[in-house]
Structure 1
């Protein structure tokens, strides 16, 4: 699994101008099942995405297509981890656990 930390590199007002494009990009990856959750950071300096396990190169390609990345409005930091404990509500998305 991955946690993706998105840090804005441009003013929030400029980022917000492209928010609809970013939301469509997120929707596409939620529909494909690649993303599990996403939301704004507090304070609003970027976003966080939690993904399903996948090859890192695939995730890097997905992030390279983010409108925020394409317009150089944000940078993405990828944190890979193997979940060893999962709440019952999330066990179906933790592929490391036998269901």
Structure 2
């Protein structure tokens, strides 16, 4: 089993209110994303297609740390979104991707 740093987490963000309700929180959410991309926790993030349904984040680290980070998302704090977190131990993939998750 990989160490906690090597765990992969897919965070599925779904809006629980309308996109108009979420809109005022977008700037803070973008800052939140940038913070966690900069600290190396978030590897990839993007809005779901079609627009207006939520987003997806690929994260690494311990499940507990990722859950704490997800709970601090401005969308969650404001009550306009919720996360489903799916965790996995990376096994096979492109070397460049696997290297992000450690040995």
The reply to whether TM is greater than 0.5 is yes
Partner residue in 1 for 2:5: none
Question: Cα deviation per residue 1:16-75 (whole Å; 9 max; x = unaligned)?
Answer: 2211100000111011100000000112200000001x2211111111110000000000
Choose the corresponding residue for 2:38, options 31, 40, 65: 31
Aligned length: 95
Secondary structure, aligned partner of 2:75 = helix
Is 2:91 the counterpart of 1:84?
yes
Residue equivalent to 1:10:
17
RMSD of aligned alpha carbons: 1.2
Q: Which has the higher contact order (CA 8 A, sep 6+)?
A: 2
Give structure 1 regions of 4+ aligned residues with deviation exceeding 4 angstroms.
none
Deviation at 1:15, TM superposition (A): 1.1
SS at match of 1:51: strand
- Paired residue for 1:70? 77
Q: Which runs of 5+ in 1 are unaligned?
A: none
Q: Where in structure 2 are there 5+ consecutive unaligned residues? A: 1-7
Q: Normalization by structure 1: what TM-score?
A: 0.89
**Alpha-carbon contact 2:90-2:98 (below 8 Å) kept:** no
